[in-house]
Amino acid sequence: MAGNIENPESIDMTSPSHASGKQLWENRGLLVPGVRAVMGQRFTPEECELAAPQLTRNVFERLGTAFHNKHVLEIGTGIGRFTPGLAERTTSLIGIDLSKNMLDRAKTAVTGRENVRLLQGNATRLPLKDNTVNGIFEFAVLVHLVSEYEFQQAISEAKRVLKPDGTMVLCGQLSQDNKTHMINPQFIHRPIAVYEQALHPLSLVNKRALESLGEKFTMLFFQ
């Protein structure tokens, strides 16, 4: 599964100006009205739609009551695949996404839910005060922050807005060895140790596996 891009040197891993792919996500956000999920470029809209119900069910089954009675931030809502289900399982939910087109569709997905607020923003500079939420959820967002600078910045921002007793649930593909693998210029697999190191002083308290569209995902629970 792990692969390499043709010319890794062409990507500046330290620059905050390296495309976090805003335009790419804006374009993806316009894909095929009616589907319940829009994922990365590797997947067709039909595959995204096919995978949506089962993946969503599996994620919430594994999430259990982790966000019960909590004020939660969802980083990278996309078009709102998990947003309504998260809203059902939390006291309040703030959803943030880089892309206006994604958010417009997420707004439709949460119509009528009064405990949800959606904001356009960047994970690397969250528009929230310190210690605002006691839960954070992301699915397939950090794996798209290929620049080391953006990844570290996003983790540091997540830690800043999370209250000391908070729970962070990070979901995505991990590298299967202890190396980081660039899969393509917008997609990266990092080893679990990189997450643990970046999340310090939070600790990894649980780890749950998922599979969808032939991809292995891991839900990492930090506290």
Can you give the binding site for ligand SAM, defined by CB under 6 A?
Answer: 20, 25, 37, 39-40, 76, 78, 81, 96-99, 102, 122-124, 139-141, 144
Nearest to 217 by CA among 178, 180, 173, 170: 173
User: How near is the Cβ of 25 to ligand SAM at its closest, in Å?
Assistant: 3
Q: How far is CA 95 from the centre of its chain?
A: 11
- Which CB, 87 or 123, lies closer to ligand SAM? 123
- Which CB, 104 or 196, lies closer to ligand SAM? 104
The burial of 44, by beta-carbon neighbours within 10 Å (0-12 exposed, 13-18 middle, 19 or more buried), is given as middle
User: How near is the Cβ of 85 to ligand SAM at its closest, in Å?
Assistant: 11
CA distance 88 to 101: 23
Residue 112 is encoded by which pair of tokens? 């009528």
Q: For the chain, how are helix, strand and coil distributed in percent, rounded to 5?
A: 30, 30, 40
**What count of residues does the chain have?**
223
Q: Name the residue number minimizing CB distance to ligand SAM.
A: 78
88 membership: H or E segment, kind and range: helix 83-88
User: How near is the Cβ of 105 to ligand SAM at its closest, in Å?
Assistant: 10
User: How near is the Cβ of 1 to ligand SAM at its closest, in Å?
Assistant: 17
User: How near is the Cβ of 129 to ligand SAM at its closest, in Å?
Assistant: 18
Distances 83 to 74, 135, 180, 203 between C-alpha atoms, Å = 8, 14, 29, 25
User: How near is the Cβ of 157 to ligand SAM at its closest, in Å?
Assistant: 10
CA distance 190 to 207: 15
CA distance 12 to 4: 15
